[in-house]
Amino acid sequence: MSLSDFALNTTLIAQAFVTVLVIMDPLGNIPVFLTLTRGESTESRRRSALQAVAVAAGVILVFALFGQQILEMLGISLEALQVAGGLLLVLIALELLHPGEDDANATRGRGQNVALVPLGTPMLAGPGAIAATMLAMQRAGSVGGVVSVVLALLAALGVVYLSMRYSTVIGKLLKDNGINLVSRVMGLLLAAIAVQLVASGVAEWVRNGVA
């Protein structure tokens, strides 16, 4: 190995950070977080935010680090994962562009730890975030690239944690209309990312054939 193998990839950091952050939609999830933690004290709400982010980090990192082995065991190619991930992101983008009724109140009423489910997973560590992180790991190509993806993931989760920690203040500042606007912009960006993933996967199939 040379020193260049340990160099951070700033482009990969930026791409992975933006993609994961858009998928997790921290501002769009604020109303859900406030509903699920309604009636809790400020300290308890902050603890729930930290637990949710920790769970999401653990789940995504496991798939990021061992995702290649899982793909090989199942006989799935990177291009197939790329196209599947892109199609999945399209569905998430549609949800951001056209949000529907959620069952947050029903989930909260079951008495379960909402920081684990549904906040940690699948709201944060959902299929879209897992697929996007695995694809970024596939493109890493070196130790520095892998570290770059991990740093991007941790940075995105840090933003998500801050948005939930200060959700009450942010909610009051943006109000429902502001949060809806941000969610729709993120939905549009995510749709563009999804189209690019599918197009890249199909182009690779055209060049090299389907394995």
Profile the chain (211 residues) by mean pLDDT over runs of 10 residues.
Answer: 84 95 89 83 92 96 88 83 82 75 49 80 84 90 93 97 94 85 83 86 86 62
Round to whole Å and give the CA distance between 107 and 159.
25
64 phi, psi to nearest 5 deg = -65, -40
Task: Give pLDDT, residue 82.
Answer: 79
Task: Give pLDDT, residue 111.
Answer: 54
Round to whole Å and give the CA distance between 28 and 33.
10
3-state secondary structure of 46: helix
Task: Give pLDDT, residue 103.
Answer: 47
Task: Give pLDDT, residue 106.
Answer: 46
Task: Give pLDDT, residue 172.
Answer: 87
